[in-house]
């Protein structure tokens, strides 16, 4: 018996209502009123949809931008030519959950050779698209070539016979859809192992009413492809499973890229394990999730112990707070983290490491991962310490014990109870400091000629801090036997290799402006203490309290600017 147009439409409407993809059936003429839309399709729209769906509304009413976007032209084209139109990975921003991507198909529904309706199917491929985008954005190491996702819609009865199959199946099999209708997969020559796999899944859905996913390889006309088949139940009026609906999506490229990602990660970890440095990775929040083998060999720890923030256990407790402060600041700002600190080895001893941490960011500038290395610099530190000690002794001997290469702790101990403190930032600002140090020097008992000597040293020390570091903090103290003036800055310091030249070479300057500053201080002070390094420089001048100095006349003739 030949089916009427209404019977045909009703059969297709039944397919649409229970389809796992978004589907809708339109009248075949403008303004393309909706005959029926399923729940998946209705859920795509942000506005509340009546329980009856979009039935009765026309295309322009629920898609106001249809004309300007070209959608209306596509409807007119399909209605006039009878040729379906497919759009792949079509972006849409009109949903509550934000931007999504869809495989979009508009096709004619034919009855007795005439177009009686237009069918529309929308398959959400957001997961596949975002997955590929994530791969494309990860460390620029993974290939980003992916073909359009292909979907096949099929309907099975309880005898595994195909009662409906979308035309996309022809692209995969090369066989016309008409050859499948009313037959089982076995009857059309599908490989036995695939028939067994699919029938097992179809039986599961019929018996349990639960959906099932099956991954399989299929001999495509262009070669073997991998598909993900989603099987879902279609219920009848008695709430029994009447049919099983299948949606097969080509995931070949996704699987290939995932395999390449795994292989790339394997190669990276092999390289990282071969590095002499300790290497680790953390997520955007600073949670460490991976270390190379060298880390575990050095620290003697286990992955379980080091997970997250467990790395704190191999840090020096006294230095750990400053490490955490700087690390958390980098996490908050997304700036690189660089610091030198000790790490405890498996033998319980600490060795000094240089840590460099680089953020990896996405296309929008957000940190997605941190990559860090710890390089053992303990031997270099020891060599530098030996070199510095050699220079210290050499300089101490060459200056008759007047220039002491020291550290800030030793100098801080000399000025534990300062008479006064000054912040000096420019040459014009230390006039007041110069006058105050002069008055305090006189009060301490220094003779007038020694006051002039002391003032010469104060001016040179303060000027150096301003010229080379933009200023610093100065202190003046008296221990009863000596007057001590110190100035500290936060400049780049004097390199260890430059110390002998600074102390011993006539007129040497580290920046072209130091001039005779240190010569003046060494000439007039009883002792000059120097602490310098990457964190800055501190100079302290010690003048013993006494009544006169035979060099007073020389000073008065050579330094008239210090007279008042």
Would you place residue 272 in the very low, low, confident or very high pLDDT band (cuts 50, 70, 90)? low
Token pair of 549 as six digits = 């100095």
**175 and 157, same structural domain?**
yes
391, 291: one domain: no
Verify that 431 and 450 share a domain, yes or no: yes
Give the pLDDT band (50/70/90) at residue 14.
low
Asked which of 188, 216, 250 is the last residue of a domain, the reply is 250
Residue 509, pLDDT above cutoff 60: no
How large is the average pLDDT for residues 451-459?
87
State residue 52's pLDDT score: 56
Residue 552, pLDDT score: 42
Nearest to 534 by CA among 490, 486, 472: 490
The answer on 157 and 111 residing in a single domain is no
pLDDT in tens, 196-226: 999 999 999 999 999 999 988 887 767 788 8
524 and 543 assigned to the same domain? yes
Its domain, for residue 202, covers 151-250
Average pLDDT of the chain is 80
* CATH at 221: 3.30.450.20
Identify whether 361 is part of a domain: yes
- Domain end call among 359, 376, 393: 376
Residue 261 lies in a domain: no
Residue 161 has pLDDT above 90, yes or no: yes
Q: Where are the beta strands (DSSP E) in 112-160?
A: 114-124, 151-156
Is 138 a domain residue?
no
In-domain check, residue 262: no
Query: Looking at the structure, do residues 472 and 437 belong to the same domain, yes or no?
Result: yes
Same domain (yes/no): 228, 281: no
pLDDT classification of 560: cutoffs 50, 70, 90:
very low
Residues 393 and 357 in one domain: no
Among the candidates 322, 342, 376, a domain finishes at 376
Residues 288 and 243 in one domain: no
Cα–Cα–Cα angle for 87, 119, 158, rounded to 5 degrees: 110
Verify that 280 and 234 share a domain, yes or no: no
- Residue 437 makes CB contacts below 8 A (sequence gap 6+) with 420, 454, 455, 458, 476, 485
User: How many domains does one find in the chain?
Assistant: 4
Q: Are residues 197 and 246 in the same domain?
A: yes
My answer on whether 113 and 193 are in the same domain is no
Residue found under tokens 């249809």: 66
Does residue 104 lie in a domain region? Answer: yes
3-state secondary structure of 130: helix
CATH of the domain at 474: 3.30.565.10
pLDDT digits (tens, 9 = 90+) for 104-151: 888 998 888 899 999 888 777 888 888 777 755 644 342 322 223 357
Q: Tokens 């009865």 — which residue?
A: 157
Task: Spell out a b/e string for 86-109, using b for 16 or more CB atoms within 10 Å of the CB, else e.
Answer: bebbeeeeeeeeeebbbbbbbbbb
**Predicted TM-score (pTM) of this structure:** 0.39
């Amino acid at each position: 018996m030949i089916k009427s147009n209404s019977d045909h439409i009703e059969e297709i409407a039944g397919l649409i209502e229970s389809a796992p993809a978004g589907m809708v059936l339109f009248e075949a003429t403008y303004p393309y009123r909706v005959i029926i839309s399923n729940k998946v399709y209705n859920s795509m729209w942000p506005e509340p949809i009546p329980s009856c769906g979009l039935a009765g509304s026309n295309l322009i009413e629920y898609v106001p931008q249809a004309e300007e976007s070209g959608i209306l032209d596509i409807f007119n084209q399909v209605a006039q030519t009878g040729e379906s139109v497919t759009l792949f990975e079509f972006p849409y921003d009109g949903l509550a959950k934000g931007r999504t991507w869809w495989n979009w198909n508009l096709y004619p529904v034919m009855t007795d050779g005439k177009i009686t309706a237009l069918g529309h199917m929308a398959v959400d491929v957001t997961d596949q698209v975002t997955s590929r985008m994530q791969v494309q954005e990860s460390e620029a190491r993974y290939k980003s070539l992916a073909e359009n996702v292909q979907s096949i819609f099929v309907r099975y009865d309880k005898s595994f016979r195909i009662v409906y199959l979308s035309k996309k199946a022809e692209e995969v099999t090369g066989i016309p859809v008409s050859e499948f209708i009313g037959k089982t997969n076995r009857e059309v020559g599908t490989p036995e192992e695939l028939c067994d796999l699919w029938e097992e899944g179809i039986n599961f859905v019929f018996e349990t009413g639960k959906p099932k996913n099956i991954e399989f390889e299929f001999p495509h006309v262009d070669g073997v492809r991998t598909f993900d088949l989603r099987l879902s139940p279609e219920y009848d009026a008695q709430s029994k499973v009447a049919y099983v609906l299948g949606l097969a999506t080509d995931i070949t490229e996704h699987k290939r890229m995932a395999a390449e990602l795994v292989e790339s990660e394997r190669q990276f970890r092999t390289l990282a394990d071969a590095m002499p440095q300790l290497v680790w990775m953390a997520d955007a929040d600073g949670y460490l999730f991976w270390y190379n083998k060298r880390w575990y060999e050095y620290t003697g720890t286990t992955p379980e112990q080091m997970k997250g923030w467990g790395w704190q256990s191999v840090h020096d407790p006294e230095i750990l707070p400053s490490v955490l402060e700087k690390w958390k600041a980098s996490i908050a700002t997304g700036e690189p983290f660089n610091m030198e600190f000790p790490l405890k080895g498996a033998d319980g001893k600490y060795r000094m490491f240089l840590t460099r941490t680089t953020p990896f960011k996405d296309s929008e500038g957000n940190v997605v991962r941190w990559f860090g290395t710890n390089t053992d610099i303990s031997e270099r530190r020891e060599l530098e310490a030996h070199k510095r000690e050699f220079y210290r002794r050499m300089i101490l001997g060459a200056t008759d014990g007047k220039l002491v290469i020291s550290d800030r702790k030793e100098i801080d101990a000399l000025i534990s109870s300062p008479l006064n403190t000054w912040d000096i930032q420019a040459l014009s600002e230390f006039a007041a400091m110069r006058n105050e140090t002069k008055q305090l020097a006189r009060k301490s008992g220094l003779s007038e000629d020694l006051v002039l000597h002391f003032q010469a040293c104060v001016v040179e020390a303060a000027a150096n801090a301003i010229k080379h570091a933009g200023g610093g903090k100065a202190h003046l103290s008296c221990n009863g036997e000596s007057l001590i003036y110190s100035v500290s800055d936060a400049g780049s310091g004097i390199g260890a290799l430059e110390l002998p030249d600074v102390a011993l070479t006539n007129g040497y300057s580290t920046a072209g402006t130091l001039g005779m500053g240190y010569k003046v201080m060494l000439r007039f002070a009883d002792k000059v203490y120097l602490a310098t390094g990457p964190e800055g420089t501190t100079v302290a001048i010690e003048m013993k309290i006494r009544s006169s100095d035979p060099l007073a006349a020389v000073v008065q003739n050579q330094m008239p600017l210090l007279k008042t």
